[in-house]
Structure formats: structure tokens, C-alpha cells
Amino acid sequence: MKKIYVVAIIMIAVAISLIVNAANDMSTYSTFSEAGSISHKVKIAGKLAKDKPMVYNPEKDPNHFSFFIRDTKGEEHKVVLLKAKPQDFELSEQIVVTGKMKGKEFIATDLLMKCPSKYKDEEVYIKGEEKKG
């Protein structure tokens, strides 16, 4: 057998083991009730509960921003993001938070949000600063 084939077979074996291993890095979008029962980090996708308070008081703690999101199952929980409040947060359509449950709160270390694109909301700026849709 050619040596190159040996190499190739070894590499394929490594590749398979890596891919099996990599599956641990992946997860499905979780829900709050699932997150409560597992200890590792999960991602939760949900919508911002706009009627609940959003609190960012940098004078007290610049790394503490709390808000409520409703997950795909409709369950609502308080989320604490250990970062500054992102710009345009109120406009977000969908939010993905990464973190763990801690008691009744979800402690998030990362947040991704999907905002209506600047161009998609089709606002035409009228001269003189007023907007018209």
C-alpha cells in the first residue's frame, strides 16, 4: 500500500473522531426550562418582553444589564447580561443569549440580536429631519 494512503486513512480516522468530538460544541437552541436542568452553557433564542423593565445602571455596575425575554415556548425569564447595554437593543426582533441559569435568572455572557436592517424598514428621510414612512 502506498504510504500516502496510510496517511490519508489516519487523517480520516482523526477527522471522524474530531467531528464526533465537535458535536459536543454544538447544541440546539434551548429553552429556559431545559436550561434549568443542565449545568453547561446553552443558547436561548427569544423575543424581548418589551413591557418588562430593562435596567442598565452603569453607576452601580457597568457589566450588568437586565431584561426579560420570552423563549420559543413562551416562557418568560429575567436575563442578566454581563456586558454593557447594546445599542439599539429596544429595536431587536430576536435575541440569542448564551449562558447558564442561576436560580431564576439566566446569566448571559454573550448576546446576539437581530435588528431590522437599517434599509429594510424602508424609511425615507425627508429633508428637514422629520421622517415619513
Q: What are phi and psi of 34, to 5 degrees?
A: -65, -45
Q: Which of 32, 56, 67, 68 binds another protein (CB under 8 A)?
A: 56
Q: Strand 42-48 vs strand 65-71: parallel, antiparallel, or unpaired?
A: antiparallel
Residue 14 pairs in a beta bridge with none
Q: Which of 9, 11, 16, 55 binds another protein (CB under 8 A)?
A: 11
Task: Specify whether the CB–CB gap between 82 and 63 falls below 8 A.
Answer: yes
d(Cα 68, Cα 80) in Å, to the nearest integer?
9
Task: Specify whether the CB–CB gap between 80 and 111 falls below 8 A.
Answer: no
Q: Is 43 in the site for another protein (CB under 8 A)?
A: yes
Of residues 65-94, those binding another protein (CB under 8 A): 82-85, 87-88, 94
Q: How far is the CB of 76 from another protein (least distance, A)?
A: 20
Q: Which residues bind another protein (CB under 8 A)?
A: 2-4, 7-8, 11, 15, 18-19, 22, 25-29, 41-43, 56, 58-59, 61-63, 82-85, 87-88, 94, 96, 98, 107, 109-110, 112-114, 117-120, 122-127, 129, 132-133
